[in-house]
Amino acid sequence: MSNLRTLVFFATPPHDCSYLPDREATTMFVDPRAHIDKKLYSQLTALGFRRSGSHYYRPHCEQCNACIPVRLKVDDFKPDRSQRRVLKKNTDLKCTMVPATFAERYYQLYANYIEQRHQDGDMYPPTREQFTSFLVEGATDSWFLEIHKDERLVGLAAVDLLDDGLSAIYTAFDPDLEDRSLGTYAILWQIEEARRRGLPHLYLGYWIKQCRKMNYKTRFRPIEALRDGHWRELDAG
């Protein structure tokens, strides 16, 4: 059984940064041969690691520290006016947590979302193999949040259950419903789910101040950032 003291880590060679132009990035990975159980995964997440399929990683760039792990303390969170409007607008939706498995309807929603919203990203073009390796493989205690309008699947959020919270892995939604702000709605639902389960945190991955696509994360307040080995409230101003 692996633990933090026995884990082996590998660093990638420098490669183009996915978020900031004209910068190189280095990524640290946990040895893929290690057995990562829920306890160890929770410890790694608290240290700033993320899961992508069977891989656990964190940025490890010598000349840059722009990628900052962030999380919410769910009991302290209060929605602002805009977030309250999102909740009110989506009262007709039905949400269900189900085990993370492959289904064609999940993939079709995901593929449409990538093709319409993220043609400039690493996941374009989407494939079934990519969907499975990213969101299904390597799952320890992993779930899909299904979001339905009437009988139609309009949103899907991948969520990991940790010892001290939930980890928001990824959200895809029907691009035709952009005015419903389903990405924000999925986070608000996960905040409430963490509260229902008595878990203190919702981990939101990395925040980069210079990356416009990540601005939405700091609209959830108060938000904590991991810096110098300590979680502290972030002033994103």
> In the structure, what pLDDT confidence band is assigned to residue 15 with cuts at 50, 70 and 90?
very high
Residue 87 shares a structural domain with residue 167: yes
Per-residue pLDDT reduced to its tens digit, 86-136: 999 999 999 999 999 999 999 999 999 999 998 777 888 999 999 999 999
pLDDT at 1: 63
Which of 84-88, 136-140, 191-195 bottoms out in mean pLDDT, i.e. has the lowest?
Answer: 136-140
Given 67, 90, 110, the domain boundary residue is: 67
Residue 102 shares a structural domain with residue 156: yes
d(CA 236, CA 221): 10
1 part of a folded domain? no
Instruction: Give 149's strand partners.
Output: 93, 152
Residue 77 shares a structural domain with residue 194: yes
pLDDT at 235: 85
Cα–Cα nearest to 70, from 233, 206, 228:
206
Identify whether the C-beta of residue 145 lies closer than 8 Å to the C-beta of residue 95.
Answer: yes
Classify residue 53 by its DSSP letter: T
Q: Looking at residue 122, which CATH number applies to its domain? A: 3.40.630.30
Given 36, 67, 98, the domain boundary residue is: 67
- Provide the Cα torsion 214, 162, 7, 70; round to 10°: 20
Residue 172 shares a structural domain with residue 136: yes
2 part of a folded domain? no
Residue 139 shares a structural domain with residue 210: yes
21 part of a folded domain? yes
Residue 60: pLDDT over 80: yes
d(CA 182, CA 172): 9
Residue 34 shares a structural domain with residue 141: no
pLDDT at 87: 98
Given 17, 42, 67, the domain boundary residue is: 67
d(CA 5, CA 43): 12
Residue 17 shares a structural domain with residue 96: no
Give the whole-number percent of the chain exceeding pLDDT 70: 99
Q: Model-level pTM?
A: 0.96
**Domain hosting residue 204, numbered range:** 71-233
pLDDT at 237: 62
Please tell me the total count of domains within the chain. 2
Work out the mean pLDDT of the chain and round it to a whole number: 95
d(CA 106, CA 157): 10
